[in-house]
Structure 1
Amino acid sequence: MTEQPKPEQVSDPLRQVLDWPVPHAAAAVLSRAGVLAEVGDTSMRFPLASVTKPLAALAALVAVEEGAIELDRPVLEYAPDRLGEELAAELGSMTLRHLLAHASGLAPDRRRRGADVGVRRIYSNVGYDLVGELVADATGIAFDDYLHEAVFSPLRMRTAVLEGSPAFACTASVADLEILIGELLTPGGLLHADTLADARSVQFPGILGVLPGYGGQRPNDWGLGFEIRGLKDPHWTSPRNSPATYGHFGRSGTMFWIDPQAGLGLVALADKGFGPWAIKAWPRLSEAVLDSYS
């Protein structure tokens, strides 16, 4: 049996986190063997902002595997009242897959049409609110409770909690996200391998869109809940991250990625809003991690 590596107190690449211009920060690096290094209070809970979305997507995919809801059935067929008459006429072919991949055609923050279904990547918070409503309707369980039962509890993410929108209202610790990243690097049964492969694969390839904070991307690749790096430039990961890298960042100062080619995952949580500091710090940290551990 291979001995599990013990996390370092503060590794050289993570040391830079101590110099970030933020009140508090914590971070960790993982491989398929486990946690390689940590810095900061990994038990401290941070508002995740949009890092909530991949957690919500995983819960929705559990509901799909349980047969409660279908990934490719038009929303209009089983939840017409959730769209309303005008949206039903404009976006009637929208599916759960479209919603999870930001290809539904819904506008960012209002439940109205922003584009045709499947032709443009519109980063939509209201789309994820609709995901929560659809899963709650299908399961008969409030979405915050379902997320806990489907994801947090089986993974033993002990401090993670959703208190509001499935788009941005989760709080969690680095320790929680270490468990999540470990599950994604070395799946332990939360989801079937084919479902996970689908989630981290580009959905509706080639479509364009805006990556919040980084401008228009051609294409703007996205999986089911996960942003996929692809060839995006500029980007919040390092240019050294492989195109298959997937993860998410949040405007509260949070991010995580998994690079399947390098076999590494990185999570960094802070309590200062996304801005120039993060645009500079996150790629630099990502590059240092890849230099040190891959």
Structure 2
Amino acid sequence: MPLTADCPPWDDGSVDTTTFAATADFPHTALVGVTGPDASLAVQGDSHSVMPLASVTKPLTAWGALIAIERGLVDLDGPAGPSGATVLNLLDHTSGLPFEGDQPQRAPGERRIYSNVGFDALGAHVAEAVGMTFPEWMASEVTGPLGMSETDATGRPSAGARASIGDLLIFAREVLRPTLIPVELRNLALDVSQPGLRGVVPGYGSFDDNQWGLGFEVRGTKHPHWMGDSLPAQTAGHFGALGSFLFIDRSRDLAAAFLSGVPFGDDHKRIWPALTDEIVTRYGD
């Protein structure tokens, strides 16, 4: 019998309820989940505990925008945000908008400037196009259809959602095997958009080729980085300022999520590369 939202894979007795060695000396709650394309593979901690996603909200917001694009309600190349910018520029952090604030720092397409306000502008643009608030759109077209009952996407489109590890793994499976958008549009989101642009990854520094897709960071060859060295360059994901991450490794049909609910800091930077490598070693074959 297929697993459903009423019979989640982490409750059917088949999932590995495990402890990851990399988190042994992490001084905070460490909720970790690993999934393949069809079912969860491992969960550490309470899979139903809801925590803030911080900027891991952005991939969810991007999915909502991509659904609107697929339905012809939003044009990827249509104007949005500051003068001269497009929906694409908002999605791949090339609109010129700063991290916070409303004054552009660059012309669109010149630099990769990681922007919360850009994603908030994206949410507002989608809401206007679809004729409902962005939280209503997300509930109607993303979290509802996917059965993400432990997700609250009523906060800022850039960083305001809350969810459980269980729900993040549901979303990860959607990214691995999309049902709400065509696989070609999924690939556009996870592949590098406008390569060769310099930019900063918050907490990790400036890179000459700061690779991003549409709502997802692409690992590339960045070093240092929150993903371990065993993750291939095309791995896509996101981390958040409240100690959260999500990564999608299409080469292994593997995804994983992490929630801690505490501000990102040295402890996260210390354990995340080892943890992501451990996940790949244990579940990536």
TM-score band w.r.t. shorter chain: over 0.9
Asked if 2 retains the 8 angstrom alpha-carbon contact of 1:15 and 1:39, the reply is: no
Q: Give the gaps of 5 or more residues in structure 1.
A: 76-81, 84-91
Q: Distance in 2 between matches of 1:193 and 1:10?
A: 32
Q: Report the alpha carbon displacement of residue 29 of structure 1 after superposing the two structures with TM.
A: 1.2
Q: Does 1:118 align with 2:109?
A: yes
User: Which runs of structure 2 are paired with 1:100-119 in the superposition (5 Å)?
Assistant: 100-119=91-110
User: Which runs of structure 2 are paired with 1:1-294 in the superposition (5 Å)?
Assistant: 6-10=14-18, 14-17=20-23, 19-22=25-28, 24-75=29-80, 83=82, 92-187=83-178, 189-294=179-284
Q: Report the alpha carbon displacement of residue 51 of structure 1 after superposing the two structures with TM.
A: 0.5
Q: Distance in 2 between matches of 1:16 and 1:108?
A: 31
Asked if 2 retains the 8 angstrom alpha-carbon contact of 1:17 and 1:27, the reply is: no
Q: Report the alpha carbon displacement of residue 33 of structure 1 after superposing the two structures with TM.
A: 4.0
What is the count of residue pairs matched by the alignment? 276
Q: Report the alpha carbon displacement of residue 31 of structure 1 after superposing the two structures with TM.
A: 1.9
Q: Give the alignment's TM-score, normalised by structure 1.
A: 0.89
Query: Taking every aligned residue pair, what percent have the same amino acid on both sides?
Result: 38
Asked if 2 retains the 8 angstrom alpha-carbon contact of 1:48 and 1:172, the reply is: yes
Q: Give the alignment's TM-score, normalised by structure 2.
A: 0.92
Q: Distance in 1 between matches of 2:52 and 2:24?
A: 19
Aligned AA (1:9): T
SS in structure 2 of the partner of residue 280 of structure 1? helix
Q: Distance in 2 between matches of 1:160 and 1:232?
A: 31
Per-residue deviation, residues 76-114 of structure 1 (Å, max 9, x unmatched): xxxxxx65xxxxxxxx32100010000111121011111
SS in structure 2 of the partner of residue 288 of structure 1? helix
List 4+ stretches of structure 1 deviating above 6 A.
Answer: none
Per-residue deviation, residues 152-194 of structure 1 (Å, max 9, x unmatched): 001100011123210110000000001011111222x111111
Asked if 1 retains the 8 angstrom alpha-carbon contact of 2:190 and 2:214, the reply is: yes
- After superposition, the CA RMSD in angstroms is 1.9
Q: Report the alpha carbon displacement of residue 271 of structure 1 after superposing the two structures with TM.
A: 1.6
Q: Report the alpha carbon displacement of residue 256 of structure 1 after superposing the two structures with TM.
A: 0.9
Q: Report the alpha carbon displacement of residue 293 of structure 1 after superposing the two structures with TM.
A: 2.0
Per-residue deviation, residues 259-288 of structure 1 (Å, max 9, x unmatched): 111221111111211000000111110111
Per-residue deviation, residues 34-61 of structure 1 (Å, max 9, x unmatched): 2111110010000110001110111011
Q: Distance in 2 between matches of 1:6 and 1:52?
A: 29
